[in-house]
Structure 1
Amino acid sequence: MELVMLIISLLLICTRTSVSSDDRLQVGMTVVRNAAALDAYCLDASLPAYHIHKGFGPGERNWLLQFEGGGWCNDIESCAERAKTRRGSTRLMNKLATFSGILSNNATRNPDFYNWNRVKIRYCDGGSFAGDSKFENGTLKLLFRGQRIWQAVIQELVSIGLKSANKALLSGCSAGGLAAYLHCNNFKTYLPATTTVKCMGDAGFFMDAQDIAKNYTQRIFYHNLVTLQGIEKNLDKACTSSISDPKQCFFPQYLLKYITPPVFILNPAYDIYQFHHILVPPSADPRAVWKSCKLNPTACRPDQIRVLHGLRDEMLTALKSFLSDSSSGGVFINSCFAHCQSESQDTWFALDSPKINNKKIAESVGDWYFNRNISKQVACPYPCDKTCHNQLGEGSTSD
């Protein structure tokens, strides 16, 4: 009898688990029909799109805009390939988007933003919504119109209620997190002076750091990207006029001090993308010495851990002024091997979500946005943070 009851209990648990995983909000796609008037197109000339779930109750006049992530393309070959995928064409995208984490409409899963107007802006330009150029050669045509896509989407949202926002948060994950930094100042210009405007970059603080071979692989990648997609003219003018190489303003560490709305930096110190592509790109590890360490941080040798700590130290050095400033900025830098933590329910707000000083990510972001508490949290170096047990390996990545 006890065995039967145990089996029934396990079946009930499995059923509840299935229901809880399947009741995530699915939101349909809205194509921006007026985008053609701005010549705002995806790489393959399809129209841009977004997903919106309307706010309700006290959140009816509050808005959260979330840029989708998904890497970049920085040469004709990679962009031509990207144009044939969901990363370069709305025609090839899933027409439903899952809204979880910061996009959830469930008060127990997303206590501060669940009833806001929540928008996911689809990513199809390969340049963090910042480019404005095109390429044509025979039958091959690629449109780098990320800046115009941003303008087309924001103008449409303004027309359906954003112009009356009481509170607004511009956010994004990965390449979308970078876009949140790049467009934060411009976002404020579309809103009334009375609107509380803030911005958050999730896993978007990509570092201008040397790789293990002492090369600036990411700098070269970004410079080629900025040149190809015509991004430089769209970068913040205060930043570009104060730096010897204006292309460097594509890096948040150089742009940050010129962003005027309050900013929250949500980033793992051992971000999986930065670990795998900035610190130890394949070109810097031709013999795959780091392969086991990349697959599982517990397999890293002591000398490799020291190199990883160096990446963390470099990030904290780049943020030194921001961290010491007593003003309105927020920080959550944990020691998880992860990438993008705001859109996943497991990392945003769940029973076993990552914590710093007993604060989960959602609680820290909420404290910052609503001025409930000073919210600058930095975890001790790996492996002392025991809340990251569910983040080893590749983790959650949009790239």
Structure 2
Amino acid sequence: MPNPRLRSSVWWRKWGKEIAIGAAGFTIFLLALKSTSWKKESDLDLNRVSIQSDPALIDLTLLPNAKDRGAVCLDGSPPGYHLQKGFGSGSNSWLLHIEGGGWCDTLASCSSRKVTALGSSDHMDHQVSFSGILSDGKSQNPDFFNWNKVKIRYCDGASLAGNMENEAQNGTTLFFKGQLIWEAIMDELLSVGLANARQALLSGCSAGGLATLIHCDDFRELLPKGATVKCLADAAFFLDEKDVSGKPSMRSFYHDVVAIQGVAKSLHKDCILRMESSQCLFPQQVIKNIKTPLFLVNPAYDFWQIQNVLAPSSSDPHHYWLKCKLNIQNCDPSQIEILQGFRTALLNALSDFQHNKDGGMFINSCFIHCQTWMANTWHSPKSPRIGNKTIAEAVGDWFFDRRAVKEIDCPYPCNPTCYNMVFG
């Protein structure tokens, strides 16, 4: 675990672009929670952000036989997941959540991940607590609390989509087998009850949300035809936009991820025929081919995208954007105008999806990244709301067809219910 005293400004200077983009996402968010405060009308105790009561600890299950089929983490260790069995009316319902953790785009950055939980099950916590969308508490998770719930660990660095021959780096071997990890974990879960699911929701955060988009239709095909199967991607709508210096930094980065890890084999063939394969990794292109009902949760001012897609350090040599990236309240009027343009780009990218009759969305105006995995942003008295609905309520309404859900917030700073990250 990161040192609680480590300040976000320190890791910002120390790690720079490669970690900020290559191994960021959910990982940087977790690190930030250790070293930052949350800003609202009143201060919030960080100890209550993700846990409102003492949840049970859920054991890690490894797949040792996965090695026989080549389904291994970057370092060759077996992949894993955490399973909490459902009960009562939820015994035949399943909710899967793929954790996030960014991507790696070079042999060096992928090698660095091998000594972390993002590249090796040897470094994963053997027990984790479930909260937010994975909680078994009805007050925290009203629609899914008694379902079978699975947290899928993320250890391939390519959104469970890599499929390349092994590569040597400094005398050691890297394994790019994310696609095989996905298949092995699905086979395992099918054998322990998923095959009998009557309802199922595949979800994920950040890079795990992108994995959800990539594998959504595959997931539908694995389950009984009569089952209700849907997908939910949280903070996964990464934009194919130029940064503040006019460079396509994220497109270049995705190009390298796809090339080094063989991701193109996991992307939709129709998209690959139309454009360069790395562009097909962007959600705007992925969702065009998804047939399974899909829900998108995304902040219009996703701090990770502002920090790494819109204004990466490489595009801001004089640190004009630094204070703004650490606290949206520090942004000057010209920066706010650019942020509003970034929000418009998101809504434009979602314009076709807004007319998808089976789709749902919750686009709020918060400076945050993932929101489904924490109690206080998923469903609590203090949760962000649009139209007086929490994210959990909106997702539940959509999943159970209680109403159509296409929630788009007004522009910042209009929503007083937002939780906005503040980096120290």
Is 1:174 aligned to 2:206, yes or no?
A: yes
Task: Report the alpha carbon displacement of residue 32 of structure 1 after superposing the two structures with TM.
Answer: 1.1
Aligned to 2:284: 253
Task: Report the alpha carbon displacement of residue 139 of structure 1 after superposing the two structures with TM.
Answer: 1.8
Task: Report the alpha carbon displacement of residue 52 of structure 1 after superposing the two structures with TM.
Answer: 0.3
SS at structure 1 position matched to 2:239: coil
Mapped to 2, the partners of 1:354 and 1:137 lie a distance apart of 45
* Match for residue 376 of structure 2 among 340, 346, 349: 346
Give the alignment's TM-score, normalised by structure 2.
Answer: 0.87
Residue type of the alignment partner of 1:213: S
* Match for residue 142 of structure 1 among 174, 193, 198: 174
Task: Report the alpha carbon displacement of residue 25 of structure 1 after superposing the two structures with TM.
Answer: 2.8
Aligned to 1:36: 67
Counterpart contact for 1:42–1:144, Cα < 8 Å: yes
Aligned to 1:4: none
Q: Deviations over 1:280-314 (max 9, x none)?
A: 00011011101111121111100000000111000
* Match for residue 128 of structure 1 among 152, 159, 164: 159
Task: Report the alpha carbon displacement of residue 26 of structure 1 after superposing the two structures with TM.
Answer: 1.6
Mapped to 2, the partners of 1:178 and 1:121 lie a distance apart of 13
Task: Report the alpha carbon displacement of residue 22 of structure 1 after superposing the two structures with TM.
Answer: 5.1
Aligned to 1:9: none
Counterpart contact for 2:301–2:343, Cα < 8 Å: yes
Gaps of 5+ in 2: 1-44
Task: Report the alpha carbon displacement of residue 87 of structure 1 after superposing the two structures with TM.
Answer: 1.1
Is 1:159 aligned to 2:191, yes or no?
A: yes
- Report percent identity of matched pairs: 48
Mapped to 1, the partners of 2:92 and 2:343 lie a distance apart of 38
Counterpart contact for 2:119–2:155, Cα < 8 Å: yes
Aligned to 1:278: 309
SS at structure 2 position matched to 1:309: helix
Mapped to 2, the partners of 1:342 and 1:135 lie a distance apart of 35
Aligned to 1:202: 234
Counterpart contact for 1:269–1:335, Cα < 8 Å: yes
Task: Report the alpha carbon displacement of residue 137 of structure 1 after superposing the two structures with TM.
Answer: 4.8
Aligned to 2:57: 26
SS at structure 1 position matched to 2:365: coil
Aligned to 1:92: 123
Residue type of the alignment partner of 1:80: S
Q: 1:320 to 1:52 in 2, by over 3 A?
A: same
Counterpart contact for 1:51–1:121, Cα < 8 Å: yes
Counterpart contact for 2:96–2:152, Cα < 8 Å: yes
Counterpart contact for 2:80–2:152, Cα < 8 Å: yes
Q: Deviations over 1:55-75 (max 9, x none)?
A: 111110011110010111110
Mapped to 1, the partners of 2:421 and 2:171 lie a distance apart of 45
Counterpart contact for 1:34–1:152, Cα < 8 Å: no
Aligned to 1:239: 271
* Match for residue 329 of structure 1 among 346, 359, 364: 359
SS at structure 1 position matched to 2:173: strand
SS at structure 1 position matched to 2:58: strand
Aligned to 1:385: 415
Mapped to 2, the partners of 1:113 and 1:155 lie a distance apart of 23
Task: Report the alpha carbon displacement of residue 245 of structure 1 after superposing the two structures with TM.
Answer: 1.3
Task: Report the alpha carbon displacement of residue 37 of structure 1 after superposing the two structures with TM.
Answer: 2.3
Task: Report the alpha carbon displacement of residue 17 of structure 1 after superposing the two structures with TM.
Answer: 7.4
Mapped to 1, the partners of 2:226 and 2:402 lie a distance apart of 20
**Higher relative contact order at CA 8 Å, sep ≥6: structure 1 or structure 2?**
2
Residue type of the alignment partner of 1:152: A
Q: Deviations over 1:58-112 (max 9, x none)?
A: 1100111100101111101101111111111110111111200000000110000
Q: 1:138 to 1:308 in 2, by over 3 A?
A: closer
Give the alignment's TM-score, normalised by structure 1.
Answer: 0.92
SS at structure 1 position matched to 2:304: helix
Residue type of the alignment partner of 2:218: N
Mapped to 1, the partners of 2:286 and 2:48 lie a distance apart of 43
Correspondence 1:359-378 to 2 at 5 A: 359-378=389-408
Counterpart contact for 1:173–1:204, Cα < 8 Å: yes
Residue type of the alignment partner of 1:273: W
Mapped to 2, the partners of 1:138 and 1:70 lie a distance apart of 24
Counterpart contact for 1:272–1:394, Cα < 8 Å: no
Residue type of the alignment partner of 1:329: G
Mapped to 2, the partners of 1:137 and 1:383 lie a distance apart of 47
Task: Report the alpha carbon displacement of residue 33 of structure 1 after superposing the two structures with TM.
Answer: 2.1
* Match for residue 318 of structure 1 among 341, 349, 367: 349
Q: 1:343 to 1:17 in 2, by over 3 A?
A: closer
Correspondence 1:225-236 to 2 at 5 A: 225-236=257-268
Counterpart contact for 1:25–1:104, Cα < 8 Å: no
Mapped to 2, the partners of 1:118 and 1:249 lie a distance apart of 30
Task: Report the alpha carbon displacement of residue 185 of structure 1 after superposing the two structures with TM.
Answer: 1.0
Residue type of the alignment partner of 1:377: E
Counterpart contact for 2:52–2:375, Cα < 8 Å: no
Counterpart contact for 2:268–2:286, Cα < 8 Å: yes
SS at structure 2 position matched to 1:317: helix
Q: 1:331 to 1:17 in 2, by over 3 A?
A: closer
SS at structure 2 position matched to 1:386: coil
Q: Deviations over 1:6-35 (max 9, x none)?
A: xxxxxxxx9x979x7451232110001221
Q: 1:355 to 1:394 in 2, by over 3 A?
A: farther
SS at structure 2 position matched to 1:380: coil
Aligned to 2:30: none
Mapped to 1, the partners of 2:349 and 2:127 lie a distance apart of 38
